[in-house]
Structure 1
Amino acid sequence: MTLKLHHSLLISAALLAACATLPEPKSATEIHDQTLTLDTHIDIPLTYMTEIDPTGPTELQVDLPKLAAGKLDSGFWIVYTPQGEMTEAGYAAALDIARTRVTAIEALTDTHSDDFELALTADDVRRIVGEGKHAVLIGMENAFPLGPDLSTLDHWAEHGVRYMGLTHFGNNQFGDSSNPHAERDGGVGKWGGLSPLGRELVERLNDRGIMVDVSHTGKKTMMQAADLSRTPIIASHSGVKAVADSARNLDDEQLRKIAEVNGVAQMVALGAYVKVQTPEQVAATEAAAIEFGISSRAEYNALSKEKQAEVDARREMIAAMEPEATVADFVDHIDHAVSVAGINHVGIASDFDGGGGVDGWRDASETEAVTAELVARGYSEADIAKIWGGNLLRVMEAVEAGALN
C-alpha cells in the first residue's frame, strides 16, 4: 500500500467516525418542545372567569387543555374595547369593559395559580415557563378607555398592562386608525396621524415601560409613533400587505421602519388578513353587512343570539366560496416579513377568540403545526426561537430598561 493511499484511507476513516458521532437533526416536535412559545394576542370574552372556566375543556380556542396539548407556553391576554363615541358616556362604557376584562385576567392567575402566573417582565416570562406554568401577560387593545386625558395610565400599568394599542377600528382621541369608521369618521383620518394627546401617550408609555403597539393604526400614526418613541415599538398582530393587501396589514416601508427602531412585527393568523377575499366574496360580505346592519364587531355583538347565528352561517357560506387560509399561507407572511425586516424583527400572534385561526392552526392545541411549517421551510432552531418569542422578549427588555418609573 502506498503512503498516499494509506493517508487517504486514514482521512476517510476519520470522516466516517466524525459523521457517526454527529447528532441526528431534531424533529419539529423536539424543537417545538424546547422552544419558549409566546403568542402576543389572545382575546377573552366578557364572561371569562364568571360563566367560563378556562381550566376545563371549553369552546374557546384557548383554554388550559388546549394550551397543554399545543405546548403554547405564554401569551398576552387582551383587554379589548371596541371603539365608541368620544363622549363622556362613550369613555365610561369603554372603561367598564376594560375593567371587566382586566379583572377576569387577574382572577385567572389568582384562582388558578398552579397553572397560570401573571408576568410583568421578560424575566418573569422565562421564569414562569421554566417552572412549568403558563406565563400570562396583559395587552390593551385600543387605548380608548383612557378617556380624554392620561390620568388613568398609571392604574393600567400597575394592573400589569405591558403593551397598549393606540387605536382600533375607528379613529380615537389618540390618533387615526387603519380602518376609519365609515359613518363616525366619514371613512377618513381625523388627525393626520397621532393627535397631540397621542404624542403625549407615546411618551408616557415609554416612561412607564409599556410597549407601544401600532397594530390597527393608520400608516401615518404608525410611522410617527415609531419616530417619537424612545424605545422599540411593536405591531402586536398584523399581517403584510405584499402577501394580503388589507388595510390592516403592514407595507414594506412600515416593516423596514419597525426594524429600524429595533421593534418587532407579530404576524397574525386571522384568515381575513392572511388571505384576502376574492372580489366575489367582498361583494357578498358587503351585501351581508347591509342586510344585517353590521359594520363592526360591536354591532355584531349587539345582535340577538339568533341573528348572530344567521350572520355566522352567512360568513361560513362566503368563506366556502374559496379555500380558506392555511398554516402555509400564514407562514408566507412570516417569510416576507423576515425577508424585508430581518429575522430579529418578526413574531407570531394567533388572535384566537378574536377571529383568529387558520386551517391547521385552529386553536391552541395545534400550535406545533406552525413550528413544523417553519422547520419545513428551513428555519434554524435559533431562528424559530426568535420568531416564537425571543424577539418580543428582547423588545420588552429594551422597553423596561427605558422606563423612567
Structure 2
Amino acid sequence: MKAWLAGVAALALTGCVSVAYSEEAGSAPASYANSHMALRGADALGETDRSLHDRVLTLDTHVDIGQGYATAALDPGGFTRAQVDLPKMRDGGLDAAFFIVYVGQGLISPIGYDEAAAQAENKYQAIMRMIRGYGDQIALATTADEVEDIHASGRLVALIGMENSWPLGEDLSNVAMWAERGVRYVSITHFGNNQFGGSSNPNLAQGDPSEDPGLTELGRGLVRELNDHGVMVDVSHVGKRTMLEAIALSRAPVMASHSGARGVYDHPRNLDDEQLRAIRDNGGVAQMVAFRRYIGEVDPELAEAERALAQEFGFTSRQEYAAATDRQRDAYQARLRELRASMNDITISTLADHIDHAVQVAGIDHVGIASDFDGGGGVGGWDDASTTPAVTAELIRRGYSESDIAKIWGGNLLRVMRAVEAAAL
C-alpha cells in the first residue's frame, strides 16, 4: 500500500501519485496553497450541513506520514502536498487522527527485526516532532477521555497506531514499551505473513502459503499482551482465519482500522459479512476506508488515462516523481485532478455504499471511517483532509441522523477505546 509498485498502472491505481501526496514532497509554494483553498470541498457545503459537521467530533483512524515528516522537507504546520497537515485538518474540521508508525513487511529474522525496529523508531520520532513542534495546535491523546478533553480545548488531537507488528520482533515485552509511548492500536500483519499470523495478502513469492495459517503461538501471546496494556487489536490487513482467531482470543473489543466491505466490492483487503458480524459480536468497530482501489473497480478508461498522464510527465516510479521540480509536480497534480473530475472516478458515494453495507450487517454502533491518506487513500470528493465535510454531507443525504453520524465519525471508536482501557491489567 505504501510502496510504489512497479509499473505506471500500479502507480495510478494505488493513488501513490495522487492529488496531494508524495513521500518526498515538502511544503507547497504559495500558488499551490492558494489554488488548494479555492478548490476546497468545504466551501460547497450548505451552512446547516457544515454546522452539524462542526458539532460532531471527527476521528480518522488511519493517516500515514511521508519521508522527512516534521522537518523542513515536509512541515505539517503549513499547507503541504501531503493530504493531511494541520491547516487542512482545521480547514476541513477533521478533529482527530491516528498517525501511523508503519513498516512494510520484510525478513522474519533477527536482522529483519532490527531493521523494522529502526524504521518504526523513525516514524514514531517524526510524529512526536510534530506534536512537540506544534503543541499549541495539536496534542497527543492516549485515552478516550483525553481525546475529548483536547478537542474541548480547541486543539487538534493526535493518536498513534502501529501498522504491522513485525517491528516488535519476538520479544513481547516490546508491547509495553510502545504502549507507554502512546501507541493505541497495533495491526497484526500487513502485506505478507509475519511472525504473528497470516495476512489478507500473503506474499506467495516469498513462500507464504496461499491459505491463512492462523495465529502463531507468538501471535496468541501478542493478542494477550495488547489486551493487558490497553492497546486495541487491529485486524485490518489480517487474513480471515487469523482475524477470527484473534477476535475469539481477545478479551476486549477489536477494531479494523481501515478496511472495506467485501459485500460491496470483492477485494482481499475487505471484510466479508461473517467478519463484520464477528466484529459486531465482539463489541468492536470496522472503519470503512476511502481507498479507490480497495472499494471499487477503477474505470479502465480512467486507469489508462492516468497511465498516459504519468508517462507524459515521466513519472514511472517513485524516484522519478521525487526527483521532479515543484513546478512539474504541481502541473501533474493539477492535470490529475482535472482528469479524475472529468471521468468516472470512485467517489464519496462509493465509500458511503461501504458504510451503508457495514451498518446493515454489523449495526450503527460498529462502523467508522478511515481515509488512509498519505498511504494511497482518497476518493473523488475526499482527496485530502480539507474536504472532510463532504463525507458528512453524503451521510446526511443518505438519511443518517446527527447521532448516527457522531457514532460513525468517532463515537464508536471512542467506545471501543474505553472498553479496551477497562480490560487492561
TM tier, smaller: 0.7 to 0.9
Partner of 1:22: none
Q: Where does structure 2 lack aligned partners over 5 or more consecutive residues? A: 1-45, 307-316
Deviation at 1:274, TM superposition (A): 1.6
Distance in 1 (alpha carbons) for counterparts of 2:301 and 2:172: 44
Alignment of 1:86-97 (within 5 A): 86-97=108-119
Higher relative contact order (CA 8 A, sep 6+): 2
Select 1:324's aligned residue among 330, 337, 345: 345
Partner of 2:144: 122
Partner of 1:376: 397
- Does 2:218 correspond to 1:197? yes
User: How many residues get paired?
Assistant: 362
Partner of 1:73: 95
TM-score by length of 1: 0.84
* Preserved contact between residue 246 and residue 276 of structure 1 (Cα < 8 Å): no
Distance in 2 (alpha carbons) for counterparts of 1:399 and 1:329: 31
Deviation at 1:81, TM superposition (A): 0.3
Alignment of 1:4-403 (within 5 A): 27-50=48-71, 51-186=73-208, 188-189=210-211, 192-277=213-298, 305=322, 323-403=344-424
User: What SS does the aligned partner of 1:375 have?
Assistant: helix
* Preserved contact between residue 179 and residue 187 of structure 1 (Cα < 8 Å): no
Partner of 1:296: none
Distance in 2 (alpha carbons) for counterparts of 1:97 and 1:46: 11
Distance in 1 (alpha carbons) for counterparts of 2:321 and 2:116: 21
Distance in 2 (alpha carbons) for counterparts of 1:324 and 1:182: 31
Partner of 1:5: none
Deviation at 1:74, TM superposition (A): 0.3
Q: Percent identity?
A: 54
User: What SS does the aligned partner of 1:183 have?
Assistant: helix
Deviation at 1:282, TM superposition (A): 9.5
Larger-Rg structure:
1
Q: Where does structure 1 lack aligned partners over 5 or more consecutive residues? A: 1-24, 286-299
Distance in 2 (alpha carbons) for counterparts of 1:26 and 1:378: 17
Which amino acid counterpart does residue 108 of structure 1 have in structure 2?
M
Distance in 2 (alpha carbons) for counterparts of 1:75 and 1:280: 34
Which amino acid counterpart does residue 193 of structure 2 have in structure 1?
N
* Preserved contact between residue 171 and residue 185 of structure 1 (Cα < 8 Å): no
Distance in 2 (alpha carbons) for counterparts of 1:250 and 1:279: 25
The one-character-per-residue Cα deviations of 1:126-170 (angstroms, maximum 9, x if unpaired) are 000111101100000000000122131111111100000000000
Distance in 1 (alpha carbons) for counterparts of 2:47 and 2:76: 33
Q: Structure 1 residues 183 and 278, CA, compared in 2 at 3 Å: closer, same or farther? A: farther
84-93 or 54-63, which deviates more: 84-93
Taking only aligned residues, the RMSD between alpha carbons, in angstroms, comes to 2.7
* Preserved contact between residue 117 and residue 133 of structure 1 (Cα < 8 Å): yes
